[in-house]
Amino acid sequence: MRRPSHRSCASSGWSPGAKRRRRHTTRPGRGRWRAPDLVGRDFGAGALNRKWYGDGTEIVTDEGKLHLASVLDAGSRRIVGFALSEHPDAELAHAALAMAVAVRGGKEAIAGVIMHTDQGSEYTAKIFRVACIRLGIKQSMGRVGSALDNAVIEAWHSTLEFELRALEHFTTKAAARARVAAWIDEYNRDRKHTACHTHGRLRSPINYELVLHAAAAA
């Protein structure tokens, strides 16, 4: 059954009402290294593969928590990479990044993209930093404790949490994994988003990308 769209993602005007305050699963990484803020709350992208946003959240099940790491392309609001694990660590963040790179066509297609996250230890860890350097990705980080610095994907996770955590109950981790993957696919393919507006129509992230590709090829 189709879930109602968040008011910022659909043209129906439906509002979910008050949301739960999301509990963050990231903590500031130890050590002195931090990436500079290359975004400065300028969330527009102008094109695909210019700005990506990464973040993590929790999925609660009767068997314990799962942790979701996601990568969103600001150019179309599409979730281009995600991964689920029992541990909110650098390997999970790296897996989501690896999926995003594969979905976008590899290193050559995404070189120079800005990857904006919080200062969580999973994003300051060596495995993640080395991957970004190898792929030509520019890391960017907001301030500690400022959700507004990463508002694009914070809002996306809030929508996911409202629809899955508030409206569904998962008895097993396997069920949660399958439902989260299906929800993300539905969002990418079917959810009309106010940021995806062309020719007087709101479009889903994937449909919006198809329009952009067609225009570039014309």
Query: What does the pLDDT look like over 102-123, one tens digit per residue?
Result: 999 999 999 999 999 999 999 9
Q: Is the pLDDT score of 195 beyond 50? A: yes
Determine contact, residues 43/203, Cβ cutoff 8 Å.
no
Model-wide pTM > 0.75: yes
Amino acid identity of residue 94, one-letter, is H
State the Cα–Cα distance between residues 65 and 145, nearest whole angstrom: 23
Buried b / exposed e over 159-182, threshold 16 CB at 10 Å, is: bbbbbbbeeeebeebeebbeebee
The closest of 183, 57, 64 to 122, measured between CA atoms, is 57
Q: Which domains, from first to last, does the chain contain?
A: 51-217 (3.30.420.10)
Query: What does the pLDDT look like over 28-73, one tens digit per residue?
Result: 545 568 999 998 877 676 789 999 999 999 999 999 999 999 999 9
User: Predicted confidence band at 192 (pLDDT cuts at 50, 70, 90)?
Assistant: confident
Query: What does the pLDDT look like over 135-171, one tens digit per residue?
Result: 999 999 987 766 677 888 999 999 998 988 778 999 9
Query: What does the pLDDT look like over 5-15, one tens digit per residue?
Result: 433 333 332 23
